[in-house]
Amino acid sequence: MAAGYATALRNAQLDAITTYAGAGAKLRIYDGTRPATGGTATTLLAEFTLGSPFAPSASGGVLSPTLPSAVNAGASGTATWFRVTKADGTTHVFDGSVGSEMTLNTSTVTSGLQVSVTSWTITRGNA
């Protein structure tokens, strides 16, 4: 049986993401195969500047980051994964999958056309 954590603890763990990411974190959307956590990225399709704070307080073991404003893509490709960095653009916070952990308005990204995040939640399991 997996460990079971109190909801208050799961919320605190998720809120630590908001604290660590800090104000003005970057969300970068990539194509190709996601590398090992924090590894060398593939082709950058689009970059967003995230809200301050990154997200309101977690509730029920779920963190709902503030959705960023739409941006124009800088390259074309199929969006498969994403990375969040601190505002400096280099300090890794976490990676995730487009389509399961985050949804975009399109997975087929075209350079110069608008890309937007339509939904995004981070769930801390083991309730």
Q: What is the pLDDT of residues 43-59, one digit of tens each?
A: 999 999 999 899 999 99
Domain count, the chain: 1
Give pLDDT tens digits for 104-120.
999 999 999 999 999 99
Residue 73: domain span: 7-33+41-122
The end-to-end CA distance of the chain, in Å, is 12
| 75 belongs to a structural domain | yes
| 24 belongs to a structural domain | yes
Hey, what's the torsion of the CAs at 43, 70, 57, 60, to 10 degrees? -80
Residue 127 reports pLDDT greater than 80: no
| 2 belongs to a structural domain | no
| 127 belongs to a structural domain | no
Q: What is the pTM of this model?
A: 0.92
Nearest to residue 44, comparing CAs of 126, 109, 121? 109
| 84 belongs to a structural domain | yes
| 92 belongs to a structural domain | yes
* DSSP bridge partners of 98: 102
